[in-house]
Copies of this chain bind each other. A is one copy, B any other.
């Protein structure tokens, strides 16, 4: 089974960030808006431009990303927590 996001949406698998192993990124409990970590599982074809084409996506399958706490729509696929986000809701890619 496959979930293919439309346009500039991205399917992301939620990763419980381990405060020690994740290369030193700690998201403070007291932060205004805590970002969360995830792995990109599937990307849409890109946002529709004015000329009717799809703008290229910056993230790809397998990327480890940070996204805002209140972003996206939650779904569970085969027991795993996922979200469908717009690419613009992704704050950054984490490269190990």
Contacts and interface: CB of A to CB of B under 8 A. Distances in A.
Interface of A: 1-7, 9, 11, 22-28, 31-35, 42, 45, 47-53, 55-56, 58-59, 66, 68, 70, 73-79, 84, 87-88, 90-96
Nearest to A68: B73
A44 to B, nearest CB: 8
Contact of A6 (B22, B28, B48, B58): B58
A25 B53 contact: no
27 contacts: A2-B94, A2-B95, A4-B92, A4-B93, A4-B94, A5-B92, A6-B59, A7-B58, A7-B88, A9-B92, A24-B77, A24-B78, A24-B79, A26-B76, A26-B79, A27-B74, A28-B74, A28-B75, A31-B75, A32-B70, A32-B73, A32-B74, A33-B74, A45-B58, A49-B52, A52-B53, A52-B55
